[in-house]
Amino acid sequence: MRTLAMCVLLGSAIVAGQHFQEGDGKKRNPAIGNIVAIAAGEKAFNEGCAVCHGQNGQGGRGPNLAHGRVMWHTLSDEATYKRIKEGVPSGGMPPTPGSEEKLWQLTAYVVALRAPAAESPQTGDAAVGETLFWGKAGCNECHSIRGKGGSIGPDLSDAGGSRSTTVIRMAIEDPGANGSKGFEKARVVLKNGTALEGVLKNRNNYSLQLLDGRGELHLLLMTAVREFTVAKQSAMPPNYKARFSAAEINGLVAYLAKQTARPLQAAN
């Protein structure tokens, strides 16, 4: 019985994973995965990027981009392109000039590499970030780390092991910019007039599940629902960048980068 239950659980996890990829799966730029484009991107990378990211993207002043590990929380192709084109001024990465073709070649090269934040150099002070996370930034109201904290947002126990530095920084500075993946903010008004707000957990033609700010899960039948809207913006507060200094944000990024749930694999 127990084994069977495990299989069922695993089965649904796999289905959820596939669904996630399909939902994300816009048509990719032809440079992505194209060997000729990747080689051209590598050449441009060695000329303009290696000074900070290392000759093979293994890291230096800029983060390690060079482990071929497939990550769940990776930047989308478009977000990677945008990062390269516009840079990350707050994080010390300059914008890159050049044609769209050259920028996509660089993107194709970088997509072929990837590294989690835990293996990348951090400029911030993790202790500063830790104090903010559990204190005045209130991140713990929505996120938990190793069983402590809230559940509106994703668990961050493995933030640094499964997300790159930029994904973490982007999530804080520009929430939702990389997609809200299973944590869409929704508002429901029931036929009896009750209004509910929270994060949408599951939805089909007959019912939906909404996790509210107190961590309560509501299973609602569509027949009882009068209005249902999914917000475009993230459920996460949009103003951290204005509220905190660059050093404080860097501290938060460094603190989350340290969170790993599993031992790091040896570099290959």
Q: How far is the CB of 65 from ligand HEC (least distance, A)?
A: 6
**Residue bearing tokens 């977000």:** 79
Binding residues for ligand HEC, rule: CB under 6 A, are: 45, 48-49, 51-53, 61-63, 65, 73, 75, 80, 83-84, 88, 91-94, 96, 106, 110, 133, 137-139, 141-143, 152-154, 159, 163-169, 171-172, 175-176, 180, 183, 199, 234-237, 240, 252, 256
- Smaller CB separation from ligand HEC, 128 or 167: 167
Q: How far is the CB of 229 from ligand HEC (least distance, A)?
A: 16
CA distance 67 to 43: 18
- Asked whether the beta carbons of 250 and 256 are under 8 A apart, the reply is no
Q: Which amino acid is located at 244 in the chain?
A: F
Give exposure, 89-103, as e/b (b: 16+ Cβ within 10 Å): eebebeebeeeeebb
Q: How far is the CB of 232 from ligand HEC (least distance, A)?
A: 11
- Smaller CB separation from ligand HEC, 8 or 229: 229
Give the tokens for residue 239: 């103003």
CA distance 31 to 106: 9
- Smaller CB separation from ligand HEC, 83 or 220: 83
Cβ burial of 53 (10 Å; 0-12, 13-18, 19+) is: buried
- Smaller CB separation from ligand HEC, 138 or 215: 138
Q: How far is the CB of 220 from ligand HEC (least distance, A)?
A: 19
Q: How far is the CB of 16 from ligand HEC (least distance, A)?
A: 14
